[in-house]
Structure 1
């Protein structure tokens, strides 16, 4: 008795559509075998009987095979009454499963199974702009958006939405964070500046804890958490309060539509910053000579990165070493 209950329990754990499929196939196979035994002249092979059972149960009814005896017709009536109901239930369950899957996807409940993707934390106008830029630069790059405030997916191509707390391990597992290429943490617009930065640090710790090799970019709104972000393993710390203030002040001092220039810094417009290693032809050259060499390659040399120090527009006589990196503006 206990073994029977265990078997029934295991059977009931199977998906409904799978159970109905097995029942329908059983009815078709058994009915096809029986009709070929009852009326061997009309159904010379078992395959002919199975074909007739399938066509009849599915309500297609080609009419190429028809039972001739009372016993055969009785068998057909039993099969139709039993099989048609299960077939209807089968298609209904398939439709319901598809609708549930779609709703789960819209609600951000479906896990992401891809890899080499970018995980974007937080939905706001900055995130939307980044998605549009990435679509232009790398149109086939998959993006996983994690946000707790969104009720439904924004339905953007190549963007898989997951609703949940990005500091929660379960949420990050659904984003397949161990196979991700990079993560970008934007500041939570629903919190004040200090709370948003502390939450971003917590998310960064969760990301690095699950994937220490993950390249992480974090946005900070205050200076207080800058050191903590570096200690937590941030590969790049973006201080938006400084960037915004510098752009605003530059626009004020220029007083000649400098904001239009800033809009062209968007990678989606074809212009982007890059950090390149120093080639052998540039080692030992001055900043002036290196600028001329790179200009022939359609790259504008902006600065030099030497270790932790970055020099933007250094003196023209500044010598470039082999361990330096070149900051260029290119397209």
Structure 2
């Protein structure tokens, strides 16, 4: 029993060990001075109070031993207790500095749950995080990147993990098993093919750690979309394809790009999202439902039916139960 307690004490953190030793000395000397001078220290609590004040070198002077034995005991407490208390506070300060450096350098593990993990640091990532902060995003954000040396958002609610996102050690630090959503962005320092391969490898590692995690992956080349789907991507963002569509619209209609960007920008108060039709909407014409939803500040722009998307379909098109409605909603 005693040997087991000894090994547990030796294996405990140094801060805890120093604190236990300091408390032991303070309690021992406080009890001893009460026994030696019961008139000066009528209770054990008074003795412990004197021991704390003496060991911390505060020296209020409200209690002081009057006998030679008591004063020798006080000298012993100063040499023993003060040293351990000083060591405790020095180690406490060093641990705080070490923890702060670990957080800044991306070495500290994230321990909370239901967070958003963003892989890769680039201008897109910066825009996303900045927008999420303006929208009062409720989830904590964990940023995983191998190229950064320090947290770029040290003053905001962003926990930084430094390391390769496809390694289990890095994903464990990001607590990927308890995350709610993961966004894998494309590496801007690689060519398109290698960037997609790196994104898919990261996706495989994430899905291997948490198969049920909702993963959004940025893919640059059309050839790798199928591989991203095979790897388990829940949503695929084809950046080049989306950018090409905006450019094509601008060629056909000058000035339309700014309108499209404003339409897709959540900072303007709107979110494009699919919703399932309510029972009362089934069988209604698209045009009639659009007018009804508009009264609720919801703009109906299209439907998704059997894997196909129809933007601005015929007003007479009837809504079916299996449809998903594409709306812009405040």
Bucket of the pairwise TM-score, normalised by the shorter protein: over 0.9
Query: Structure 1 residue 216: deviation in Å?
Result: 0.9
Distance 1:231 1:282 in 2: 35
- Matched with 2:196 is 197
Query: Structure 1 residue 70: deviation in Å?
Result: 1.3
- Matched with 1:23 is 21
- Matched with 1:71 is 69
> What per-residue deviation string (whole Å, max 9, x for no partner) do you get for residues 191-244 of structure 1?
111001011111111111121111111101111101111111111111000111
> What per-residue deviation string (whole Å, max 9, x for no partner) do you get for residues 139-197 of structure 1?
32111111111101112522111111111122112212121111111001111110010
1:115 and 2:125 equivalent? no
- What are the residue-to-residue correspondences of 1:78-117 with 2, within 5 Å? 78-117=76-115
Distance 1:322 1:36 in 2: 83
Distance 2:309 2:255 in 1: 28
2:35 corresponds, among 5, 24, 37, to 37
Distance 2:160 2:33 in 1: 52
Shifted more, 213-222 versus 129-138: the winner is: 129-138
- What are the residue-to-residue correspondences of 1:1-331 with 2, within 5 Å? 11-154=9-152, 155-256=154-255, 258-331=257-330
TM-score, scaled relative to structure 1: 0.93
With over 3 angstroms needed to count, the CA separation of the structure-2 counterparts of 1:304 and 1:185, relative to structure 1, is same
RMSD, aligned α-carbons: 2.0
Shifted more, 4-13 versus 299-308: the winner is: 4-13
Provide the secondary structure at the position in 1 that maps to 2:237.
strand
Q: Is the 8 A contact 1:57 1:80 kept in 2?
A: yes
Query: Structure 1 residue 134: deviation in Å?
Result: 2.1
With over 3 angstroms needed to count, the CA separation of the structure-2 counterparts of 1:156 and 1:195, relative to structure 1, is farther
TM-score, scaled relative to structure 2: 0.94
Distance 1:282 1:15 in 2: 63
Shifted more, 183-192 versus 14-23: the winner is: 14-23
Distance 1:215 1:60 in 2: 57
Shifted more, 62-71 versus 255-264: the winner is: 255-264
Query: Structure 1 residue 280: deviation in Å?
Result: 2.2
The number of aligned residues is 329
Q: Which runs of 5+ in 1 are unaligned?
A: none
Distance 1:207 1:307 in 2: 29
Distance 1:326 1:140 in 2: 26
> What per-residue deviation string (whole Å, max 9, x for no partner) do you get for residues 9-64 of structure 1?
65443222211111111111111111112212111222211111111111121111
Q: Which runs of 5+ in 2 are unaligned?
A: none
Query: Structure 1 residue 307: deviation in Å?
Result: 2.7
Distance 1:156 1:248 in 2: 37
Distance 1:62 1:78 in 2: 18
With over 3 angstroms needed to count, the CA separation of the structure-2 counterparts of 1:134 and 1:111, relative to structure 1, is same
Distance 2:166 2:306 in 1: 32
Provide the secondary structure at the position in 2 that maps to 1:281.
helix
Shifted more, 3-12 versus 15-24: the winner is: 3-12
